[in-house]
Chains A and B, each alone.
Chain A
Amino acid sequence: MELLVTYDVATTTPEGAQRLRQVAKLCEGYGMRVQKSVFEVVCSDADWVRLNNAFQRIIDDEDDSIRVYRMDRGSFKSVTILGRARRLPHDDALVL
């Protein structure tokens, strides 16, 4: 499934900054960063359950918010991009 994960973590306190780092690191393990706090994730149903569970453990329900949109297959390929944005090779070759 294709998920668009966006998050807003309050970083006014040191704990908040730590939560932000944890959320970012977690997202890096599942998908690719497209903007500062937006990730494109391609994963299986089981991975999504794990990711959701990990989010719940990290965030503070009072201050933080996470929005996860479930996208149609192929959405990441057909995205309209402007400016510095680039399409990411979720299923294509990763050649560096």
Chain B
Amino acid sequence: MTELLNTLYVQTPGASLHLDGDAVRIALPDGGGPRRTLPLLRLESIVLLGNISVSAPLLSRCADDGRAVVWMSRGGRFRCRLDGPTRGNVLLRHAQHLAHADPVVRLPIARACVAGKIQNCRQVVLKGARDAGDTKDALRGIAADLEDSLAAAGAAEDLDVLMGVEGAAARSYFEALAMMIRKDSGLSFPGRIKRPPTDGVNALLSFLYGLVRSSVHGACEQVGLDPYVGFLHGIRPGKPALALDLMEEFRPAIADRLALTLINRRQVSADDFEQLEGGAVQLTEDGRKTVLTAWQQHRQKERPHPVLGRRVAHGLVPFVQSRLMARTLREELPGYLPWTV
């Protein structure tokens, strides 16, 4: 398994990145200060938040090395990524397209993605219930509902039913999420609001989902899967359906858990958000810095992987899961097994 390398996040407005030998040189807008360089060797990808310029030589070098460059909006919405030529096996991609076209193969994979998500949601809620005070019973009730949804997802006969089960589970899960945010944190969760998020908690969730999505997308590419052909999510131009399928199981266990920790430990507070014209809310520059630091530390944390039977860092789980998906499509595994906590 590859070593977990670093990701460079650049968010300072007006900064620019240049290639300097085998290093990336960072020019900050104030111009002063010591020369800042980082060895490209230690960077797995470069993530640019907002308008950051990257020199053409650096871009071509990253493309050659297969190092992804990802552009995100300052709010953490994924904009685009630049990657080298599509790697991997054409037979694998062909198998993926055939699986997508065949409902008999497609439905079980979609079911597994939804089941993984609901199971991880349930674990997040159960953990919340252990720590909760007066909302303990309500949370336990929602966990029981999610258990029913899990059974319903396993029995779903077609994709529409499955989508319905997922939607219902997500609604009760987000009710639970609202209860798990401590009252003294100064933030509250009115339910999931996106495009654009209009409160702090939703802004934080959207930002974290953006980060998860870009890492899952990269993992699909690395394994040689086509990120745009999914099983649960339908295909549409420009929609990375497979990345969206695979990230379902990571949303609760990685993004939501981290968001709850940050809020409840007051590492992120109401001051870390700013309101834009039109009502959209996004993280401030300091807030983003806190979240990205926590995210990178979270990626290093290891957890036992139920299928591999050994400990795997959070940051590498998307790679493991993409590989399991590839093996399922090649019919080396009987079915896709989601990552559950």
Of the residues A26, A29, A94, A96, contact of B6 by C-beta under 8 Å: A94
CA distance A33 to B39 in the complex (A): 10
Partner of A96, one of B8, B21, B39: B8
| Given A93-B296, A94-B7, 20 further pairs, Cβ under 8 A | A26-B22, A28-B22, A28-B39, A29-B23, A31-B39, A32-B39, A43-B41, A44-B3, A90-B42, A91-B300, A92-B6, A93-B292, A93-B295, A94-B8, A94-B38, A95-B9, A96-B8, A96-B12, A96-B15, A96-B36
Given A92-B293, A93-B297: A25 and B21 within 8 A (CB)?
Answer: yes
Say whether B9 contacts A29, CB under 8 Å.
Answer: no
CA distance A33 to B35 in the complex (A): 10
Q: How many residues from B make CB contacts under 8 Å with A? A: 31
Residues of A participating in the B interface, judged by any CB pair closer than 8 Å? 25-26, 28-33, 41-44, 47, 89-96
- Name the residue of chain B whose CB is nearest to the CB of A92: B296
13 contacts between A and B (CB under 8 A): A25-B20, A25-B21, A29-B41, A30-B41, A33-B37, A47-B41, A93-B9, A94-B6, A94-B8, A94-B38, A95-B288, A95-B289, A96-B11
Q: Which residues of A contact B289 (CB under 8 A)?
A: 95
Knowing A25-B20, A28-B37 touch, does A95 contact B11 (C-beta < 8 A)?
yes
Q: Which residues of A contact B300 (CB under 8 A)?
A: 91
- B26 contacts the other chain (Cβ, under 8 Å)? yes
B126 within 8 A of A: no
Is B21 in contact with A29, judged by CB distance below 8 angstroms? yes
Q: Bound complex: CA of A51 vs CA of B42, how far in Å?
A: 14
Asked whether any CB of chain A lies closer than 8 Å to the CB of B232, the reply is no
Say which residue of A31, A91, A95 sits within 8 Å of B293 (CB atoms).
A95
Nearest chain B residue, comparing its CB with the CB of A41: B39
Q: Residue B341 at the A interface, CB < 8 A?
A: no
Q: B110 at interface (Cβ–Cβ under 8 A)? A: no
| 8 closest A-B pairs by CB | A29-B22, A93-B296, A28-B23, A25-B21, A94-B8, A28-B37, A93-B293, A95-B292
Are B9's CB and A94's CB within 8 A?
Answer: yes
CA distance A90 to B296 in the complex (A): 12
Q: Given the complex, which residues of B lie within 8 Å of A26, measured CB to CB? A: 21-22
The residue on B at minimum CB distance from A42 is B42
Specify the chain A residue showing the minimal Cβ separation from B291. A95
Partner of A30, one of B11, B22, B288: B22
The residues of B that contact A92 with a CB separation of less than 8 Å are 6, 293, 296-297
Chain B residue nearest to A22 (CB atoms) is: B21
CA A41 to CA B39, docked complex, whole Å: 9
**Distance between Cα atoms of A2 and B300 in the complex (Å):** 18
* Chain B, 1-32, CB within 8 A of any chain A CB: 3, 6-12, 15, 20-23, 26, 28
Across the two chains, which residue of chain A brings its CB closest to B25?
A: A28
Q: How far is the CB of A50 from chain B (nearest CB, A)?
A: 10
Which parts of B229-279 form the interface with A (CB within 8 Å)?
none
Which B residue's beta carbon lies closest to that of A93?
B296
Indicate if B112 sits at the interface (CB-CB under 8 A).
no
Q: Tell me whether A91 and B39 are in contact in the complex, defined as CB-CB below 8 angstroms, given that A28-B21, A96-B11 are known contacts.
A: no
Q: How far is the CB of A1 from chain B (nearest CB, A)?
A: 12
